[in-house]
Chain A
Amino acid sequence: MSYEAHFRVWRGDAEGGELRDYQVEVNDGEVVLDIIHRLQATQAGDLAVRWNCKAGKCGSCSAEVNGRPRLMCMTRMSVFTPEETVTVTPMRTFPVVRDLVTDVSFNYDKARQVPAFVPPKGVAAGEYRMRQVDVERSQEFRKCIECFLCQDTCHVVRDHEENKTSFAGPRFLMRIAELDMHPLDAAAEVGLTRSSSAQEDHGLGYCNITKCCTEVCPEHIKITDNALIPLKERAVDRKYDPLVWLGNKIRRRDA
């Protein structure tokens, strides 16, 4: 089945822009990215869009479709009725470059601010041995394709530009959780407590666990339940639990 769909696509750059109307053919089995490509091929040769894999694995084609942060290549046209207007805009949390392309360097800055994995002493690279049960939690977070849809949807920065300096965003708080749960990370040995640093240096307290990051993650990572809330609990251990604090003082060992 084919039909003519009504699309509204945001066209413009940092100076300004508008939602422009297009009538465009849609065929069975297509996704939003196919339609954007058809627009490029037939009516809007200069339409800027970022994409690579068309398989939901590179994280390039992030945009907002009918107001919801999504991967264009993973949004099937069959979820819309033929009568429905489909509005496609760039992500609205990051500065726009042109049309559907945004400047996501905020995320790279935040990535750099998270201290890297600290190699354990006395174990050469290539000799790391870990039990599967011990790495399992961190592995869930490794599924991340860095599409930054979670960063885009998080109201802490989406609705409050001024919070961008102090808040790392769900993707990078999750990175801290990944390392804090890593069986071989030796951050504690060099005096870095990742959980309290998440709160003090990376803005964990800004997250009010309203779960929008989890809702939009195309990899279905349980960001809030498995990374952010456990990280908050770990910070409580360090900062607000006198029993745990006392126990650690006395026993001086890490579980």
Chain B
Amino acid sequence: MATGTTPTPSATPTARRGVLTPGRAAISARHLRTDRWWLPPLVTALGLAAFIGYSTWRAFANSHYYAAPYVSPFYSPCLATNCADMKGGADWALFGDWWGLSPALLVLIFPLGFRLTCYYYRKAYYRGFWASPPACAVAEPHAKYTGETRLPLILQNVHRYFFYLALPVAGILTYDAVLGFRDEHGRWGHMGLGTLVLLVNITLIWAYTLSCHSCRHIMGGKLRHFSAHPVRYRLWGWVGVLNGRHMLLAWSSLISVGLADLYIYLVSSGAFDDPRFF
């Protein structure tokens, strides 16, 4: 958005642009809203910043991400040789041993790209971080605006590929949650609080992933004649129900993935023992 720095002839001088453009009703205030319009973007920005801070620390930490039988969703699948031994978990050293950094960095780019290009998160950070616009009918501070018409933001159009990639990632996290039904020695028939934490998390991740706007389009939204594709029409309807709650699912799955990691961090660092149900 802020890419074009050369002034164009069409850009009006700062003082007279936007709602102050000559010919529009002459009102000097940039907006006349009296409600607390600044609260939602502020809460959004703080929430996202908190998650970014926490996840950056955890992704680089490269420790306390495995507490048998649980693995943190930030570190699965683990693709480097320097991973903790995960006893049948998604621990495939595809990258060999030259990778010396935290193995989380190899996999986090997928969920990161998925959420960064997500239609809901775009709205959230355009409003919260970029003030474009900060709230409806509140003038944005930028002199020029090209939206998603050119680089880099035109790349938001790749969202559906991240959706495709998010599916195997969700599949692997499902596998991890199932492994939570083994005990720390690998014997089946165990369940602890950690199992529950992973189950809730993966349920929310799936709900978020399937509620994606690209998913809704792929399932059936792209069709012209629903009547000729009854099955896809059904799927489109179901995804539509989830899609209506996409913002809620975006936040709840973001929080659950952070909490799941925190839980495993606490158990693995010995802060407390995982309560066992059976």
> A207 and B25 in contact (CB under 8 A), knowing A69-B137, A153-B137, A155-B132?
no
Measured between beta carbons, the chain A residues less than 8 angstroms from B158 are 240
> A236 and B33 in contact (CB under 8 A), knowing A17-B25, A133-B233?
no
Asked if residues B25 and A236 are in contact (CB atoms below 8 Å), the reply is no
Chain B interface main SS type: loop
Measured between beta carbons, the chain A residues less than 8 angstroms from B12 are 161-162
**From A166, which residue of chain B is reached at the shortest CB distance?**
B149
Interchain nearest-CB distance for A113 vs B (Å): 17
Measured between beta carbons, the chain A residues less than 8 angstroms from B23 are 14, 95-96
Interface string of B20-35 (1 = CB under 8 A from A): 0101111100011111
> A94 and B217 in contact (CB under 8 A), knowing A210-B132, A216-B136, A240-B157?
no
> A93 and B26 in contact (CB under 8 A), knowing A67-B34, A160-B145, A225-B213?
no
Measured between beta carbons, the chain A residues less than 8 angstroms from B137 are 64, 67-69, 92, 152-153, 158, 212, 216
> Is there a chain A Cβ closer than 8 Å to B61's Cβ?
no
> A159 and B18 in contact (CB under 8 A), knowing A208-B148, A210-B132?
yes
> Is there a chain A Cβ closer than 8 Å to B223's Cβ?
yes
Best-buried of A14, A92, A95, A131 by chain B (most CB within 10 Å): A92
Q: In the complex, identify which listed stretch (B119-127, B174-182, B186-194) lies at the interface while the others stay far away.
A: B119-127
With beta carbons under 8 angstroms apart, the residue of B21, B146, B233 that contacts A206 is: B146
Measured between beta carbons, the chain A residues less than 8 angstroms from B15 are none
Asked if residues A89 and B145 are in contact (CB atoms below 8 Å), the reply is no
8 A Cβ contacts from B192-220 to A: 213-214, 216-217
> Is there a chain A Cβ closer than 8 Å to B77's Cβ?
no
Interchain nearest-CB distance for A15 vs B (Å): 8
> Is there a chain A Cβ closer than 8 Å to B226's Cβ?
yes
Measured between beta carbons, the chain A residues less than 8 angstroms from B139 are 155, 158-159
**From B120, which residue of chain A is reached at the shortest CB distance?**
A209
Best-buried of B17, B160, B244 by chain A (most CB within 10 Å): B160
Interchain nearest-CB distance for B115 vs A (Å): 15
8 A Cβ contacts from A197-240 to B: 203, 205-212, 215-216, 225, 229-230, 232-237, 239-240
With beta carbons under 8 angstroms apart, the residue of B25, B34, B147, B243 that contacts A208 is: B147
Asked if residues B126 and A233 are in contact (CB atoms below 8 Å), the reply is no
Interchain nearest-CB distance for A172 vs B (Å): 16
With beta carbons under 8 angstroms apart, the residue of A12, A16, A153 that contacts B136 is: A153
Best-buried of A16, A102, A209 by chain B (most CB within 10 Å): A209
With beta carbons under 8 angstroms apart, the residue of A161, A254, A255 that contacts B21 is: A161
> Is there a chain A Cβ closer than 8 Å to B6's Cβ?
no
Q: How far is the CA of A92 from the CA of B32 in the complex (A)?
A: 11
Give the contact-size bracket for chain B. Answer: 35 or more
Q: How far is the CA of A69 from the CA of B123 in the complex (A)?
A: 20
> Is there a chain B Cβ closer than 8 Å to A156's Cβ?
yes
Interface string of B63-91 (1 = CB under 8 A from A): 00000000000000000000000000000
Interface string of B210-253 (1 = CB under 8 A from A): 00011011000111111111000100000000011000000000
> Is there a chain B Cβ closer than 8 Å to A75's Cβ?
no
**From B33, which residue of chain A is reached at the shortest CB distance?**
A67
Asked if residues B146 and A66 are in contact (CB atoms below 8 Å), the reply is no
Q: How far is the CA of A159 from the CA of B142 in the complex (A)?
A: 9
Q: How far is the CA of A31 from the CA of B35 in the complex (A)?
A: 19
Q: How far is the CA of A156 from the CA of B144 in the complex (A)?
A: 10
Measured between beta carbons, the chain B residues less than 8 angstroms from A66 are 32-35
Known pairs A12-B25, A67-B33; list 19 more (Cβ under 8 Å): A10-B25, A64-B137, A66-B34, A93-B19, A94-B24, A95-B24, A155-B132, A156-B147, A158-B19, A158-B137, A158-B139, A161-B12, A161-B17, A207-B148, A209-B122, A230-B216, A230-B217, A234-B222, A235-B157
A-B contact pairs, 18 of them (CB 8 A): A69-B136, A90-B25, A92-B24, A95-B24, A131-B227, A133-B226, A155-B133, A159-B139, A161-B17, A162-B8, A162-B10, A205-B154, A206-B148, A225-B244, A230-B216, A233-B160, A255-B223, A255-B224
Residues of B participating in the A interface, judged by any CB pair closer than 8 Å:
8, 10-12, 17-19, 21, 23-27, 31-35, 119, 122-123, 126-127, 132-133, 136-140, 142, 144-150, 153-154, 157-160, 213-214, 216-217, 221-229, 233, 243-244
